[in-house]
Structure 1
Amino acid sequence: MKNIWIADGHCDSIGDYAAGKRNLKETAKFGHWDLTRAKQANLGLQFLAAYIESEYKPFQAAWRGLELLEAALRFIDHNSSEVFLVRTQEDAAQLGRTNKLGLLINIEGGEILGENIFMLDLIFRLGVRSIGLTWNERNAIGNGVGESEGSGGLSSFGFQVIERMNQLGMVIDVSHLNEAGFWDVLRHSERPVIASHSCAKALCGHRRNLTDHQLRALGDKKGLVGVNFCEDFLSDTGKATIDDVVRHICHIAEVAGVDAVGFGSDFDGIETTPEGLENVGTFPYLVEKLSQCGFNQNEIARICYGNYVRFLSDVLM
């Protein structure tokens, strides 16, 4: 579709780059994301997630997070003719207006901070602009969705983190956070927040998905949901197609408003992909599906990139 470019709120590809498995520039025999296919799909913004694996927690989490951050910065330096680091409102304003792909670094796991606010300021200086507060487990910030039902939300340190992220202009990512923590964040944050790779619980009961109440609250706060392409999040059968992704997009748009929904593929963080969305190069098929199901061109532009640009202009400084 003419003049449509793509913003994607989550991919985990930097782990392969850090391990030396792929250079993420050319297409390899495995993997979902690389620059070659991203350019073919007209990708203009990619949240690049540095996922801190459970095996490094808690004692080596900061070390692992910094190792992945260094890899992300090295990837950007090595491909500076094709990508740029998104850090400010001015950077966000350039998205879609240049032939370079904007990369926004997300640390997936607040464990990188330990229990030290100064680490937040440090990684901000190094270019990080988003943090997934938890993965599925508990950390010093709060509880992930993998903790027992009824477990508490944010800790006192967690509230300090939210306050400081607001002051710095950092994206607060509530994907993986438990429901109590979700509500703590929405009540406490002065800026909009994102669930970068989640889906609708009304359509699939996975614990990582969001209830209509949560979706509506995100919309009311000018937040954003990036629809995840994980088959387990899309269908209770564990098998899904591109039509299931569209189904979740439609539901979130109906519940929270079209301004609250975007893409959060989770490429290279999921083992299998929906039929029709096998890699980043297939995004144009999803754009066409949105047109077929009744969204007009203005709405499609907002879902594909406009909502992310507006969200970043509200959060970054």
Structure 2
Amino acid sequence: MTDPHRLHGDAVVVDTHNDLILLVDHFDRREQPDHFAQFWLPELRAGGVDVQVLPICVEEQFQSEGALRRTLLLVERIHELAAEHGEDVAVCLTGADVDAATASGRIALIIALEGAHAVGQDPALVRTMARVGVRVVSMAHFGRTFLADGSGLDTTSRGRLTPEGITALREMDELGIVFDISHLGIAGVEDVLSLATRPFLATHSACLGITDVHRNLGDEQIKAIAELGGVIGVAAAIPFFIDPAAPSADRVVDHIERVIDVAGIDHVGLGPDFIDDYYQNVLGGWIGGWAPAAYGRSYLPAEISRPSDLPKITEVMVRRGFEEPDIRKVLGENVLRVLREVMGRPTR
């Protein structure tokens, strides 16, 4: 039998969604600037993470007037981390940069926007975001932006992409920014599927066919994303997306298998959405945050709650008889294909 620890350590592991920069900022403000070095860097190494997408999620109090400033400050902090820890991490702008970083033993960092609040109603700022190093962008979080509606509004407005959103999507396509469909509402997903010309990601989603929650993707959506060459990163760290009653590593692999059954082995990856430590440190836990109102108060902690837990997913895949080449695809090769094809590669 394949040794899961050897395989996980040898494979290129890509995590398409970890909100760690928010917690880094939290500790920065408390005069603890070594938090990344003391906590996150060891966690990433223990989890075998070779490529880390770093989303910038703008908290509600900064949205609208403060979104651009907040975003740029966090972008700058990511660049500072890369300068401070140049032997361990590197901000990457292209797929070739990612390959070079991983070949040198460094963790490739990719700057992302979750919600694109900084763009506001000005699609021209998509180009500004590209200039400062942003390479993955989603248009909405739970609510509404000037570009699109988030999935949290699916029971009410179900708004499509706005005219500004359509322009922004075209800018991303042309610039080589990887589009992220996670959090987008149903109607917006339909627009993206009809307008996109390049493969894109669902950086942190799961399967509606297993867990019925608005943030998850239905089978037809998964099929359509795959037909465009895209990849769904399974949100392994969020109990409400995986299974509130049993958010185990086994249940995560159930979602992985569902994507494979629907779309094929080439269209699934890992996008755990590591946010638990932020909620514990900043909000005192999930209770009182957005989760109970959106998903109900009954849940168990996720077994995959930190990067160091990621090898457990490989263990389950090995136990279930996944072939080694397929495990490598799930762990990172599928997402790497999209990054190499799109990231930092303009079409004009």
Relative to the length of structure 2, the TM-score reads 0.85
Q: Secondary structure at the match of 1:49?
A: strand
The alpha carbon displacement at 1:37 in A equals 2.0
Instruction: Report the AA paired with residue 106 of structure 2.
Output: K
In structure 2, C-alpha distance between the alignment counterparts of 1:188 and 1:75, rounded to whole Å: 36
The CA deviation string for residues 127-176 of structure 1, in whole angstroms up to 9 with x for no partner, is: 11011111011111111111244522101111100111111100111111
Please say if 1:125 is aligned against 2:131: yes
Which of 7, 10, 20 does residue 14 from structure 2 map onto?
7
**Residue 85 of structure 2 corresponds to which residue in structure 1?**
79
User: Identity of aligned pairs, percent?
Assistant: 27
Q: Secondary structure at the match of 1:45?
A: strand
The alpha carbon displacement at 1:315 in A equals 1.0
Matches within 5 A, 1:130-169: 130-147=136-153, 148-169=155-176
The alpha carbon displacement at 1:6 in A equals 1.1
**Higher mean displacement: 242-251 or 111-120:** 111-120
Assess if the C-alpha contact under 8 Å between 1:242 and 1:274 holds in 2: no
The alpha carbon displacement at 1:118 in A equals 2.7
**Residue 50 of structure 1 corresponds to which residue in structure 2?**
56
Please say if 1:245 is aligned against 2:252: yes
The alpha carbon displacement at 1:45 in A equals 0.3
Please say if 1:304 is aligned against 2:331: yes
Matches within 5 A, 1:230-241: 230-235=238-243, 237-241=244-248
Please say if 1:183 is aligned against 2:182: no
Assess if the C-alpha contact under 8 Å between 1:138 and 1:144 holds in 2: yes
The alpha carbon displacement at 1:94 in A equals 2.6
Structure 2 unaligned spans of 5+: 1-5, 280-285, 287-299
Which of 304, 316, 341 does residue 289 from structure 1 map onto?
316
Instruction: Report the AA paired with residue 227 of structure 2.
Output: D
Assess if the C-alpha contact under 8 Å between 2:239 and 2:302 holds in 1: no
The alpha carbon displacement at 1:51 in A equals 0.8
Q: Secondary structure at the match of 1:310?
A: helix
In structure 2, C-alpha distance between the alignment counterparts of 1:174 and 1:97, rounded to whole Å: 29
* Structure with the higher helix share, 1 or 2: 2
The CA deviation string for residues 35-73 of structure 1, in whole angstroms up to 9 with x for no partner, is: 112112221100011111122222211121112212211
**Residue 219 of structure 2 corresponds to which residue in structure 1?**
212
Structure 1 unaligned spans of 5+: 28-33
Please say if 1:111 is aligned against 2:138: no
**Residue 201 of structure 1 corresponds to which residue in structure 2?**
208
Instruction: Report the AA paired with residue 54 of structure 1.
Output: E
In structure 2, C-alpha distance between the alignment counterparts of 1:95 and 1:290, rounded to whole Å: 27
In structure 2, C-alpha distance between the alignment counterparts of 1:195 and 1:275, rounded to whole Å: 20
Please say if 1:170 is aligned against 2:197: no
**Residue 38 of structure 2 corresponds to which residue in structure 1?**
26
The alpha carbon displacement at 1:221 in A equals 0.9
The CA deviation string for residues 166-212 of structure 1, in whole angstroms up to 9 with x for no partner, is: 11100111111101101101111111111100000000001100000
The alpha carbon displacement at 1:294 in A equals 2.0
**Residue 267 of structure 2 corresponds to which residue in structure 1?**
260
In structure 1, C-alpha distance between the alignment counterparts of 2:174 and 2:274, rounded to whole Å: 31
In structure 2, C-alpha distance between the alignment counterparts of 1:41 and 1:308, rounded to whole Å: 17
Instruction: Report the AA paired with residue 13 of structure 1.
Output: L
**Residue 291 of structure 2 corresponds to which residue in structure 1?**
none
Q: Secondary structure at the match of 1:176?
A: coil
Cα RMSD (Å) of the superposition? 1.7
**Residue 304 of structure 2 corresponds to which residue in structure 1?**
277
In structure 1, C-alpha distance between the alignment counterparts of 2:252 and 2:95, rounded to whole Å: 30
The alpha carbon displacement at 1:238 in A equals 4.5
Assess if the C-alpha contact under 8 Å between 2:90 and 2:101 holds in 1: no
The alpha carbon displacement at 1:247 in A equals 0.7
